[in-house]
């Protein structure tokens, strides 16, 4: 297959590298900054430097852009996409952009299958991309009405490039779960390091500080966009989190050791039942 990857950041660059590493597919790289494409070509991450006109030769198009930019890109360049080609995004939110991309797929005659590779790093850009970034990670597919064959093609590609599992779901379930698994930890890590104590932690900290604070090294631009685009599910999870922190805090304030123990045990059991 000929696969076009649009956007040479960490996500797109990692797709290119993983596809070249694990499959025989032909990879066309498309990116605003040409220097990055030259680097990717020199690295063997792509077979060809492309532009919007190259879209017409692609069987699969992976959009690795910010959510809003992915929709704009297809609005602008949809006419170049081959009829029947599979187009997927990589966006971290689905309910907002999937219907837009679905509508564009009907307008331009391609097959849209939403997807979200569950991997990342604290650092960004092509320089952080890695052919092993997706090893063992989950690849979430949001079919949005696409035919089973298109879903199967994308799902096989994910397995071929070493994703550890493919999860098929709806845009709404995706966004509700992602609010919990991804956005909430980012809010929580940021809120945590905003304590005035944080700057003096060295010498007093160990693994729990390191792990809980890790994702506070955040891309504020990207994540404020993700938060806003998944506003409702995120607010619901934030309210639940605040309630649960209040429950523990109230028990500590009331010196109610039994209640603290009960809440901590409930958390412990949750992790234990998950085998974590």
Residues 164-223 that bind a second copy (CB under 8 A): 165, 167, 169, 174, 176-182, 184-209, 211-221, 223
Of 154 and 216, nearer to a second copy (C-beta) is: 216
Q: For residue 103, give Cα distances in angstroms to 4, 78, 91, 98.
A: 21, 11, 17, 8
Number of residues located near a second copy, criterion CB under 8 A: 92
Is there binding between residue 123 and a second copy (CB under 8 A)? no
Nearest approach in angstroms of CB 62 to a second copy is 18
Is there binding between residue 231 and a second copy (CB under 8 A)? yes
Of 41 and 184, nearer to a second copy (C-beta) is: 184
Is there binding between residue 268 and a second copy (CB under 8 A)? yes
> Which one of 65, 91, 102, 237 is in contact with a second copy (CB under 8 A)?
237
Nearest approach in angstroms of CB 276 to a second copy is 6
Is there binding between residue 159 and a second copy (CB under 8 A)? no
Is there binding between residue 33 and a second copy (CB under 8 A)? no
Q: Are 142 and 94 in contact (CB under 8 A)?
A: yes
Of 5 and 234, nearer to a second copy (C-beta) is: 234
Is there binding between residue 21 and a second copy (CB under 8 A)? no
Nearest approach in angstroms of CB 42 to a second copy is 29
Is there binding between residue 225 and a second copy (CB under 8 A)? yes
Is there binding between residue 96 and a second copy (CB under 8 A)? no
Please state the φ and ψ torsions of residue 27, each to the nearest 5 degrees: -115, 125
| Interaction residues for a second copy, span 34-93 (CB under 8 A) | none
Q: For residue 18, give Cα distances in angstroms to 10, 68, 80, 127.
A: 12, 25, 26, 15
HSE-CB for 56 with a 13 A CA cutoff? 4
Of 3 and 189, nearer to a second copy (C-beta) is: 189
């Amino acid at each position: 297959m000929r696969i076009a990857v649009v956007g040479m950041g960490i996500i797109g660059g990692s797709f290119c590298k993983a596809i070249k590493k694990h499959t025989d597919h032909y990879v066309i790289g498309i990116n605003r900054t040409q220097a990055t494409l030259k680097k990717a070509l020199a690295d063997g991450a792509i077979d060809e430097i492309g532009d919007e006109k190259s879209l017409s030769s692609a069987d699969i198009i992976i959009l690795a852009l910010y959510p809003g930019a992915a929709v704009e890109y297809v609005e602008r360049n949809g006419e170049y996409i081959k009829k029947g080609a599979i187009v997927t995004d990589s966006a971290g939110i689905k309910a907002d952009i999937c219907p837009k991309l679905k509508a564009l797929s009907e307008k331009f005659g391609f097959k849209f299958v939403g997807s979200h590779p569950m991997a990342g790093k604290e650092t960004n850009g092509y320089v952080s991309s890695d052919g092993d970034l997706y090893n063992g990670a989950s690849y979430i597919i949001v079919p949005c009405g696409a035919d089973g064959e298109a879903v199967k093609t994308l799902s096989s590609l994910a397995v071929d490039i070493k994703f550890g599992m493919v999860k098929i779901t709806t845009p709404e379930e995706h966004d509700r779960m992602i609010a919990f698994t991804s956005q909430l930890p980012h809010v929580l890590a940021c809120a945590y390091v905003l304590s005035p104590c944080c700057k003096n932690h060295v010498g007093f900290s160990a693994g729990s500080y390191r792990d809980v604070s890790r994702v506070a090294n955040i891309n504020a631009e990207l994540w404020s966009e993700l938060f806003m685009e998944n506003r409702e599910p995120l607010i619901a999870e934030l309210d639940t989190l605040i309630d649960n922190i209040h429950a523990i805090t109230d028990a500590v304030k009331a010196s109610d050791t039994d209640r603290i123990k009960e809440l901590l045990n409930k958390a412990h059991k949750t992790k234990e039942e998950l085998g974590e």
